[in-house]
Structure 1
Amino acid sequence: MNQVSQEGLIDWAGPIAEGALTTIEIAVLSYAIGLVLGLIGASARLSPWAPLRGLATAYSTAVRAIPELLLLILLYYAGPPALTAIANALGFAGNVTINGFVTAVGVLAFVQGAYMTEVLRGAILAIPGGQLEAANAFGFSPWARFSRIVIPGMLPNAIPGMSNLWLILIKDTALVSVIGFNELFFTIQQAADSTRAQFLFYAAAGVIYLAMTLTSTALFARLERYVRRGQPATEEA
C-alpha cells in the first residue's frame, strides 16, 4: 500500500464508518418493519377468509417478482410527483418529498415483508396440529394461543429462513447507492473515485460486509440454539 492510498484510507475512515452505521440502521429498521409485515401477511395467508388470503398471496407473489432496484427508483423518482398530485387533488397545497433514508427503509421493508410472509407461513404450518387443537380445547384466547403456542412453535423452524433474509438484506442495502444516499457502498464509491484507489476501497467494502454477515450469522446461530433448547439434538450423518 503506497503513501497516497494510506492517506486516502485515513481521510475516508470517518465517512466510511458513518456509511457502515447508516447501512446497519437501514437494515435493522427494514428488517423490523418487514417482520411485522411478514406476521400480518402470514396470518392473512392462513386466514379462513378467502379475500384476505387472496390479498396476502397477491402481495407476496407480486413483490417477490419485482426487482428491489426498480422499486427504489420508482419510489424515489416517481413517488414524489405522484403523491404531490394526489395531495393537490385532495386540497392539500405543496410538494411532497421523499428522502433517501425513507425510500431505502420503505422499499426494503416492503420487500422483506413479502419474503418474511412465506417464511413465517411455512413455519406456522410446521407446528403440530395437536398443539393448536389442545390450545383451543383449553379455551385459550387468540392472543394467548398466538403468544404461547404459535410463536414458540414456529421460531425453531423460522430462524434459519429469517437469518438468510437478514443476510440478503445487508447486501441489498448497497442498492440504495443508485439514489445517491450516503450508505456504505455509496461512500465507498466516492472514496474510490476521489482517490483512484479502487481496489483498496472496494476490498475494504468487502471486508466490512463480510464482518457484518459473519457477526450476524453467529448471533442467529446462538438465537437458534436458544429457541431449540430442550429439543433433542439432530444427529449428523
Structure 2
Amino acid sequence: MMDADLSPLVLLGGGPDGWGPALLAAAMLTLAVAAAAMAIGTVLGAALTAALMSRRRWLARAAATYGLILRGVPELLVVLLLYFGAPGLLASVAALMGSPAPGSPPAFLTGCLAIGLVSAAYQAEVFRGGLLAVPPGQIEAAIAAGMGPFTRLRRIIAPQVLHRVLPPLGNIWQFNLKDSALVSITGLAELMRVSLVAAGSTRRPFLFFAAAMVLYLVLTSASSALFRLVETRGQRWAGGR
C-alpha cells in the first residue's frame, strides 16, 4: 500500500509505516536547540549587559552596535551566514596560511550559535532594564548598612531583577523555540525538517504540517506554564527577601 493510501493514525503512529517516533525525536531535538541557544544567549547577554553599563565608552558602544546589528537582521540570515558563509571565509583564511580547509560546521552547533547570538542581543536589553529598575537608593542604603557585594546581590538586586526579567525572558524563550525551525535549512533533523521529509515522502503535507503545528503548540504551551510557575515562585522569593 502506498503511503498516500494509509490512514493518518497509521502514518502518525509508531508502526513500520508510522512517523510518530521520528516526529517526537525531532521535537526533542527542537527543544534541545532552543535550550542551548537560550543558554548561549544568557551568558553572552549578561556579558553584553556588563559592557553596556560599563564606564568605558568604547566598550558600551561596541555592545550597543552588536545589539543594533543582531536585532536588525533576520535570524535566517544569521543561520545562512554561519553555516554557508563562514566555511568559505575560513577556507580562504586557511589557504592563505597554507593549512587545509576546515569542513562544514556541525548543523546543531551552528543552529544553536546562530539563534543564541540573536537571543543575546535581546536578553542584554532585558537584563539592563532589570538592573536599571532597581532603585539606586536601595543599593546605597544597603552599602550604608554594611552589606557586602554578595549580600547586596542576593538580598537586594537579584530578587528585584528576577521579578522583572522573567516575563520578557519567557517571551525570548518562545522566540528561540520557534526560530529553531530556521535550522532546518542546515539539514538538522529537528521538527520542521522531519515534517518536510515526511510530507514529501508520503505526499501528505497537510497531515504532517498540522502534526508539527500541534507539537510546536505543545512545546510552547508547556513552556508558558513552566515560566508562569517559575515567575510565581520568583515573586514569592522577592516578597520574602
Structure 2 equivalent of residue 93 of structure 1: 100
Q: Note the 1:112-151 alignment, pairs <5 A.
A: 112-138=119-145, 142=149, 144-151=151-158
Structure 2's unaligned 5+ residue stretches are none
When structure 1 is superposed on structure 2, of 185-194 and 128-137 the one drifting more is: 128-137
In structure 2, distance between residues paired with 1:156 and 1:48: 26
The match for 1:179 among 174, 180, 186 is: 186
Percent pairwise identity: 37
In structure 2, distance between residues paired with 1:227 and 1:4: 47
Structure 2 equivalent of residue 108 of structure 1: 115
In structure 1, distance between residues paired with 2:62 and 2:161: 23
TM-score, normalised via structure 2 length:
0.88
The answer (yes or no) to whether the contact 1:5–1:195 under 8 Å persists in 2 is no
Q: Note the 1:198-209 alignment, pairs <5 A.
A: 198-209=205-216
For the aligned residues, what is the CA RMSD?
A: 2.1
Q: Does the alignment pair 1:5 with 2:12?
A: no
Residues 143 and 39 of structure 1, relative CA distance in 2, 3 Å threshold: farther
When structure 1 is superposed on structure 2, of 40-49 and 142-151 the one drifting more is: 142-151
Deviation at 1:197?
1.5
Q: Does the alignment pair 1:51 with 2:58?
A: yes
Residues 33 and 135 of structure 1, relative CA distance in 2, 3 Å threshold: farther
Structure 2 equivalent of residue 68 of structure 1: 75
In structure 1, distance between residues paired with 2:86 and 2:237: 49
Structure 1 equivalent of residue 204 of structure 2: 197
Q: How many residues align?
A: 232
Structure 1's unaligned 5+ residue stretches are 233-237
Residues 144 and 81 of structure 1, relative CA distance in 2, 3 Å threshold: farther
Structure 2 equivalent of residue 40 of structure 1: 47
TM-score, normalised via structure 1 length:
0.90
Structure 2 equivalent of residue 235 of structure 1: none
The answer (yes or no) to whether the contact 2:163–2:238 under 8 Å persists in 1 is no
The answer (yes or no) to whether the contact 1:5–1:197 under 8 Å persists in 2 is no
When structure 1 is superposed on structure 2, of 30-39 and 223-232 the one drifting more is: 223-232
When structure 1 is superposed on structure 2, of 127-136 and 24-33 the one drifting more is: 127-136
